[in-house]
Amino acid sequence: MGAIISRMLWFFVVASVVAYAVYLIAGSVVHAQESRENQPIIVRDELGSGAHHLSGMIMVPTPCDQLSVRTEALADFTYMLVFRTWREPSVICEMNEVPRYFRTVLFAPATGVAFIATLDGIGLPIIVEPALPSRITI
């Protein structure tokens, strides 16, 4: 009888550990999908004469967060978009993600250019979509 109780106790301990591990792993995956951590940012690339007009939207943590963007040349055909956020220190804000629009101009060749991005020093997945110019010249 003691052996049965001992085995049941071990089964309960092992089942609890496995269930907790599955909870931690599945919970982090669900949280990452819910918080859009894995979703890339769509960047619109409107080609001009020798220039890329890049624009899009990025979610910032609070309505008090502001967004700035600058570009850096990493190699001849590789450029990095560096996004920085800063919070207004004199205002109390609740944590509620809001979108911020960005626009920048990069002088680079029209073809063969690769882009990467960071947000506050952390890698940011992006997808650069070429777009037709919005201004029609005759």
The model's confidence at residue 125, banded by pLDDT at 50, 70 and 90, is: very high
What pLDDT is stored for residue 26 in this prediction? 77
Looking at the structure of the chain, the number of domains it has is: 2
What pLDDT is stored for residue 1 in this prediction? 77
Question: What pTM did the predictor assign?
Answer: 0.66
pLDDT digits (tens, 9 = 90+) for 31-80: 655 655 568 999 999 988 888 999 999 998 888 899 999 999 998 889 99
Alpha carbon separation from 112 to 48, 70, 108, 109 (Å, rounded)? 15, 20, 10, 7
Q: How many Cβ atoms are within 10 Å of 117's Cβ, its own excluded?
A: 23
What pLDDT is stored for residue 102 in this prediction? 95
What pLDDT is stored for residue 58 in this prediction? 92
Q: Are residues 45 and 32 in the same domain?
A: no
What pLDDT is stored for residue 81 in this prediction? 95
Q: Are residues 125 and 70 in the same domain?
A: yes
What pLDDT is stored for residue 3 in this prediction? 86
pLDDT digits (tens, 9 = 90+) for 73-103: 998 889 999 999 998 788 888 888 899 999 9
Q: Are residues 18 and 78 in the same domain?
A: no
Flag whether 61 is in a domain.
yes
CA distance 67 to 65: 7
Flag whether 73 is in a domain.
yes
Flag whether 137 is in a domain.
no
Q: Are residues 19 and 57 in the same domain?
A: no
Q: Are residues 97 and 123 in the same domain?
A: yes
What pLDDT is stored for residue 128 in this prediction? 92
Flag whether 138 is in a domain.
no
What pLDDT is stored for residue 36 in this prediction? 57
Q: Are residues 47 and 22 in the same domain?
A: no
Domain that holds residue 124: 41-131
What pLDDT is stored for residue 32 in this prediction? 57
Alpha carbon separation from 3 to 6, 12, 16 (Å, rounded)? 5, 14, 20
Q: Are residues 61 and 106 in the same domain?
A: yes
Q: Are residues 68 and 101 in the same domain?
A: yes
